[in-house]
Structures are given as C-alpha cells and as structure tokens.
Structure 1
C-alpha cells in the first residue's frame, strides 16, 4: 500500500459513520441525551466532519470545525502505536515533524475526501462495549447498490471529559496496524527521513489540487 491510500482509507472510515448523523448537537447536551455516551460522542465527531464545506467558503468557520474535529481524534497515540520502535528511535525533531505532517494530511486529505463517499448508507450501532477503561462502538454500514455490508468498530476513551478516538477497525483491520505496515515498509526502504519526505510530497500534491477536486 502507498501512503496516499492510507489517508484515503482513513477518510472512508471516518465517513462510514457520518451519514447516520443528521444534525450537530452541542457536546454537553448531546451526551446527556438517550443512548450510550461514547456513541453520542462519536456521532458528534462525525457530524462535525459532515458539516465541513468543500470547497471551503468561510476559512474562519472551517478552521473552527477542524479544531473541534481534531479534539476527538487522538492522532498522536495512533501515530506512536503505528511507528512502534521507530518512534523510540526517532529524534525529537523527527517526531515533531512526523506529527505535524500527519495532522496536516488529515486536514488536507482525510477530511475533504470524506465527502467523496457521501451516499445512501444505512448505518446501525448494534453494540457499545466497555473494554477496560475504554469503549468500543460497533457499527454496521449497509449499501444495497454497492453490496456494502461493512463492520466498523471505533475505539474511544475519555480524557479530562473529552472523548477521543484512538483506533478505527474496518472488517477486522485496524488503522494503526495499517499505518504501521506502510510506515515500516517506507522506513525500511528509505529511513525515517524518507517517510517524512513521502508525507511531505503527498501534502504538497494535495495543496496543489484545485478545491473542486476536494469536494
């Protein structure tokens, strides 16, 4: 797999829950409503992504939504888990550059590409299960025309009152494991600096694309 396919996959995984959310609810009010709190937090997170506009018409409003969505995503934990021993071997400067690029790719690639998958998905949440101090929100995504029947599991935990997603599993395949496979392959072939170069190239490519292609 290539680095760009990873961000495409993340975008699709994020979207698989978006279509079930019709409105964005204020977080405090939403979590007091009926239903498990982790599921409500997930729906709020996905609803924020769904409300983004591409092409971006109001940069200030868009940045606010990006910050709100980012607060739900523990990308640092996902990145560390994916890199495994490579994170420990990396210099502080390399770690900082890696996380900065990963966040920028989420903003420039994953969030916009989510809109490419909008469609008539039927999504149900059959189970919310506690696993230690965290929760698994299980969902099933169905689309008859595309013969889609995907099982998606979101792993969430709560930190200082904020629910955060630190892994997403599609049909048994974890995002962190997927990232780990791709990152390890690139690092093995060209070193950690090679990974940073590949990520920067993908970011440059995304930034050069016209906004119409990000819709």
Structure 2
C-alpha cells in the first residue's frame, strides 16, 4: 500500500516544470507550477462529479504546457527513434503525449497535503536538475528530481527521477522489449489501443 501511495503522489508530482522567467531560478519556477497544480486539485468547487470534465481539462492544459513531449518521446524510444520516418515520429509523440497526459488523471487528483522540500538545483548550460524531497502526512519520505532542458528560453522537463528511477529510462526499457520481441508496429498498436481507451473515458 505504501508503494502504491508513493506512485499515486509521484505521478501528480510528475506534472512539474514551467517556462523560466527572467531573474527567477529554475527551482522557483518549478515551485510556481507545483502551487498551480495543487490549486487545481485542491479547489473544493471543482471536486463535484459534474465538474470532472472541466477539472480534467485544466489538468491536461497544465501538464501539456510543461512537458517537452517530443524530447521525452525521443529519449523513451532511444536508438529506435532514428529508424522512424517523420510521419512515424509525429504519431509516436502524439501517442506518447496522450499516455502521459491522461493515463493517471485520477492519480493526480489523489493529492493529500504532501509536503515538498526543494533541496538543490544544478544548472549547466541549457540543462538543469532540481532535486526535491516529498514528505507524506504519515512522514514517509522519497526523493523526486526533475531534469530540465532549456528550449527557446523556456525550461521544460524531459525526465523525472523517482527514488533514483528514471521515468524515461523505464519507458525506454518497456518499449525496447516490445520492439525486440514483436516489432515497432506492435508497439504502436498497443499505444493506439491505450490511447483510444483513455479518450473513451
């Protein structure tokens, strides 16, 4: 149960990154986005069943604005990316975006007053990492680090590290095994099916 709770909160906290503003640190921008998402999931007026579509739309917009889906999709596909045509790459990014953006909406909404402590930020050129610690109401703790890339003057998350495990590396392993055993078309078929299931909810 503890591990499930960590995963539930973790995906909520995966929705963290934002365009950097002049004079603000990467950590300050991450915190600003955290506060925004917390506001959405904590708004009592938005918790009514009839408000679910509106609430989900707000969360989708927030997530879509802060994740570099193209970068994440390319890194998740790894060495197989270079073999894809422009059309295949476009479709894969779209399917990957739907997977991340919608799969765990219910889990994102399971936020319950977790405390976030920002520990350290490192910036090297166009790359940055913000390290943080999440403390649950029961005082359980786990690390959550964000890797960001600056594109067009904006800091965008391209990977999230939960307790030392990379989200992108995890997907790359899953996708790589499917491609090795069944081929790339099988992976796309699975992602299409999942995407259709999500959109039908």
Report if aligned partners of 1:142, 1:148 keep a CA contact under 8 Å in 2. Answer: yes
Match of 2:3 in 1: none
**Contact 1:56–1:62 (CA under 8 A) maintained in structure 2:** no
How far 1:157 moved relative to its partner? 2.8
Question: Where does residue 157 of structure 1 map in the other structure?
Answer: 149
CA distance in 1 between counterparts of 2:156 and 2:180 reads: 31
Q: 1:107 aligns with which of 93, 101, 106?
A: 101
Mapped partners of 1:204, 1:107: distance in 2: 13
Normalising by structure 1, we get a TM-score of 0.72
User: What is the distance in 2 between the residues matched to 1:60 and 1:208?
Assistant: 16
- Gap change, CA 1:178 and 1:61, over 3 Å in 2: closer
Q: CA deviation at 1:98?
A: 0.8
Contact residue 49 and residue 111 of structure 1 kept, 8 A: no
State the SS of the aligned residue for 1:120: coil
CA contact (8 A) 1:90 1:192 kept: no
Q: CA RMSD in A?
A: 3.2
What SS does the corresponding residue of 2:183 show, helix, strand or coil? helix
The residue that corresponds to 2:26 in the other structure is 38
Task: Find out whether 1:183 has 2:175 as its counterpart.
Answer: yes
The answer for the alignment partner of 1:119 in structure 2 is 112
Indicate the residue corresponding to 1:143 in structure 2: 136
The higher-RCO structure (CA 8 Å, 6+ apart) is 1
CA contact (8 A) 2:37 2:62 kept: no
TM-score, scaled to structure 2: 0.77
Q: Distance in 1 between matches of 2:36 and 2:93?
A: 22
Runs of 4+ aligned residues of structure 1 deviating over 4 Å after TM superposition are 30-33, 52-56, 58-65
Structure 2 CA distance, aligned partners of 1:148 and 1:17? 18
| Secondary structure of residue in 2 paired with 1:84 | helix
Query: d(CA) in 2 for partners of 1:48 and 1:143?
Result: 19
Q: Which runs of 5+ in 1 are unaligned?
A: 1-7, 22-26, 210-215
Q: Which of 67, 78, 82 is residue 88 of structure 1 equivalent to?
A: 82
- Which structure 2 residue ranges, 5 or more long, are not aligned? 1-5
2-structure distance, mates of 1:82, 1:166 = 10
Deviation at 1:47, TM superposition (A): 3.7
Counterpart CA distance in 1 for 2:94 and 2:54 is 20
